[in-house]
Amino acid sequence: MLKAALRLILGSSFLLLSLQLQANAQLDSLKNISAAGAPFLALKMLDQAQPSADADVYEWILWEQERYRILSRWKQWDELLLRIEGLPKDLPEPFLQQAASYRIRAYIELGQYATARKLLRQQLWRPEAGEAKEYPTWRRQVIETYLEGGRSEDASIAMRRLQQDFPEADKDWLLLRARVLLQTGHYDEVIEILSGRLDWQSLAMKLLAEYRNGKHSAQTLWDLAQARIRNIEDDPVQLAAYWSIAVLAAESLGPDKRVEALEARLGIDADDGLGIEPVDADRLWQAYFDYARLIGNRNELLIGDDARWLELAEKQKKNSPLKARSLYALLLDESGDAQTRRSAAEGFLSLLDPEQAAQQRLLDQLFNRSRRYADAGRIPVEIRFRLVDVALRNADILLATRLMSGLDTVPPNTRRFDWLLRRARVLLLGGKLAQGDEVLNQLIDEYDEPDSKDTDRILQVLFDLQTLKADEQAIRHFRQLMNKSIDARQRREILFWMADSFKALGQYEKAALLYLQSAMFIGPDAMDPWAQTARYNAAESLEKAGLVDDARRIYEALLKVTKEPARRSVLRHNIQQLWLIRNAG
């Protein structure tokens, strides 16, 4: 009896340990998926795997903590607030305090400093607050809200009080103190507390203090920042910091340096981490105008002589794109002639590579984040189209919809194909499936002169339909395309994608047939990599359709041509499983 009880206990313990190890492995997988740049996929997986708080509150907390880390890392502050503000109050106190810190951080990041301070006071005034691990963090955050809100004297008072209570100096505290001292003009103290430190943040703050203290000229500050920038590899936060320093130096060096520094800074998708100085698109617009007027004066151009300004911009495109962008920007803003503005927009766009993320971010900042273009209707149509592509690439459907709003007819100098394609994507991804499907039907129906690149762009929209689980619509449009004179390679691919949609609909026999047609498109015995993949998918579909012998024969044919050991192992395993199913039947 005792042995049986022990076996039961040990078995239960082993099961619990196994479940814990499995949960840990899933959490590690989520962390890796998020770190790889797919946070929304990680969050979906988390929703599916997280146990309920009623079933196991401590296991639930582990998953919830990872959720907060993912949301914070990817700056999904609104969603983080919704999650935390909906928490039940009967959870363990240490976790609730940790959640409170995340909530405060979200309000700070959203610029709601008064709300953040109110929540911080609530935490700090609790009787047991001094015992909380987060207590010093909360007090530092009070200082941060004052700093970010422009109340530097209040930040200084709070900083000196905290320094008295917690004299130990970790790196984050030193940098926060340095920020306060910089804003309040205590440059000597900044230099003193950061002297001897070699981390890049301390070196950057110390350089700023030395500049403010008169040790460096603006030109020296620029040169030192540029020297550092040239040695930075793949560190956007550090690049943002030193370009922010370069922006400061450029204010005293002329509009050309201001344009260069502001363009570079706005093209970096990162905060500088030090709160050096806010940089926005409207400062760059003003720098463009100042530089363009300087160039115009040097070339004795008259305001209003648009043709000569455009001519000068065109001449500068090759050797000095910075000058050309500035000239185009001025014409965009000040020309009273619609054709001139269109030409300026086209010229401006031609100087920004759509494949370079930094240049596309710069475009986004200039037109989507500027008060000058708060009304999307003011953005030139040519530029709006490029911005729609950027928004779709970033999965910002609301922005793409805003940009397409009002574009109900094909704009001048725009291909009808391009206009319909963008319109279809925005409607589909914006949840207007019927309208998007109608536009897509019109687009393909008019597609009488196929081009391989344009066909690939249509296929991308059909993949969107498949992602939206609109497989019946996708199949219909695939068939529409097959009736056009499209490239043979693309015909082969479409057969495969159609098969994917039939498989998603559970029509496995049709899926298998199309996979095999795709595999054999270039010949009945084709076994190139595409054919092998298509045959493998056909075998899987045949198995699901109950045609076990057909599936086994295809796996066996693949085994004869497959050399890679891991793939051979998978094929042998699948064949064995099918033999078992066949014999069991």
Q: CATH no. for residue 500?
A: 1.25.40.10
* Euclidean distance between CA atoms 585 and 581, whole angstroms: 6
The predicted pLDDT at position 508 comes to: 93
> Which residues have CB under 8 Å from 20's CB, separation 6+?
none
pLDDT at 11 over 60: no
Work out the pLDDT band at 49, boundaries 50, 70, 90.
confident
Among 12, 66, 78, which residue's Cα sits nearest to residue 39? 66
Check residues 568 and 250 and name the one with the higher pLDDT: 250
* Euclidean distance between CA atoms 425 and 403, whole angstroms: 13
Of the listed ranges 85-94, 98-107, 108-117, 329-338, the one predicted with least confidence: 85-94
Two tokens, residue 236: 């956007």
* Euclidean distance between CA atoms 50 and 52, whole angstroms: 7
Two tokens, residue 183: 């804003």
- Phi-psi region at 380: left, alpha or beta (left = phi > 0; alpha = psi -120 to 50): beta
Work out the pLDDT band at 12, boundaries 50, 70, 90.
very low
> Could you tell me if 514 and 499 are in contact, meaning their C-beta atoms sit under 8 angstroms apart?
yes
pLDDT at 84 over 60: yes
Two tokens, residue 398: 């609301």
Work out the pLDDT band at 271, boundaries 50, 70, 90.
confident
Two tokens, residue 149: 């809100």
443, exposed or middle or buried, with CB in 10 Å at 0-12, 13-18, 19+? Answer: buried
- Phi-psi region at 254: left, alpha or beta (left = phi > 0; alpha = psi -120 to 50): left
pLDDT at 200 over 50: yes
> Could you tell me if 71 and 79 are in contact, meaning their C-beta atoms sit under 8 angstroms apart?
yes
Two tokens, residue 288: 């463009």
- Digit-coded pLDDT (tens) for 455-484: 999 999 999 898 888 999 999 999 999 999
> Could you tell me if 423 and 404 are in contact, meaning their C-beta atoms sit under 8 angstroms apart?
yes
- DSSP conformational letter for 484: S
> Which residues have CB under 8 Å from 146's CB, separation 6+?
113, 152, 154, 155, 158
Average pLDDT of the segment spanning 296-307:
90
Structural domain including 255 reads: 216-279
> Which residues have CB under 8 Å from 374's CB, separation 6+?
none
* Euclidean distance between CA atoms 123 and 137, whole angstroms: 11
> Could you tell me if 125 and 142 are in contact, meaning their C-beta atoms sit under 8 angstroms apart?
no
* Euclidean distance between CA atoms 279 and 259, whole angstroms: 12
CA dihedral (514, 520, 524, 529) in degrees, to 10, reads -130
Look at residue 262 and tell me if it is in a domain: yes
Average pLDDT of the segment spanning 286-297:
95
CA dihedral (105, 107, 109, 114) in degrees, to 10, reads -110
* Euclidean distance between CA atoms 450 and 459, whole angstroms: 13
Position 538, amino acid: A
Q: Please give the radius of gyration of the chain, using alpha carbons only, rounded to the nearest integer.
A: 31
The predicted pLDDT at position 102 comes to: 92
* Euclidean distance between CA atoms 32 and 24, whole angstroms: 12
Look at residue 119 and tell me if it is in a domain: no
pLDDT at 4 over 60: no
Angle at CA 516, nearest 5°, toward 512 and 519?
140
pLDDT at 2 over 80: no
Look at residue 569 and tell me if it is in a domain: yes
Average pLDDT of the segment spanning 274-280:
84
Two tokens, residue 426: 């925005």
Look at residue 233 and tell me if it is in a domain: yes
Look at residue 227 and tell me if it is in a domain: yes
Q: Give the domain-ending residue among 239, 261, 279.
A: 279
Work out the pLDDT band at 584, boundaries 50, 70, 90.
low
Q: If you average pLDDT over each of 145-149, 430-434, 487-491, which comes out highest?
A: 487-491
The predicted pLDDT at position 291 comes to: 96
- Digit-coded pLDDT (tens) for 392-437: 777 677 888 888 877 777 777 778 898 899 888 888 888 888 989 9
Look at residue 226 and tell me if it is in a domain: yes
Two tokens, residue 453: 């690149």
Two tokens, residue 420: 């319909």
Look at residue 500 and tell me if it is in a domain: yes
pLDDT at 65 over 80: yes
Task: Provide the CA 77 distance to its chain's centre, in angstroms.
Answer: 14
For residues 311-323, b (16+ Cβ closer than 10 Å) or e, as one string? ebbeebbeeeebb
The predicted pLDDT at position 28 comes to: 75
Among 235, 237, 211, which residue's Cα sits nearest to residue 223? 211
Residue for token pair 């070339």 = 299
The predicted pLDDT at position 38 comes to: 64
The predicted pLDDT at position 8 comes to: 34
- Give the chain's domain count: 2
Look at residue 241 and tell me if it is in a domain: yes
Q: DSSP string spanning 367-387?
A: HHS-GGG-SGGGS-HHHHHHH
Provide the sign of the torsion angle of the four alpha carbons 16, 19, 25, 29, taken in this order: negative
Average pLDDT of the segment spanning 73-93:
89
Q: Give the domain-ending residue among 279, 298, 332.
A: 279
Query: What's the chain's average pLDDT?
Result: 87
pLDDT at 32 over 80: no
> Which residues have CB under 8 Å from 59's CB, separation 6+?
23, 51
Report yes or no on whether pTM surpasses 0.85.
Answer: no
> Which residues have CB under 8 Å from 121's CB, separation 6+?
none
Q: Give the domain-ending residue among 237, 259, 279.
A: 279
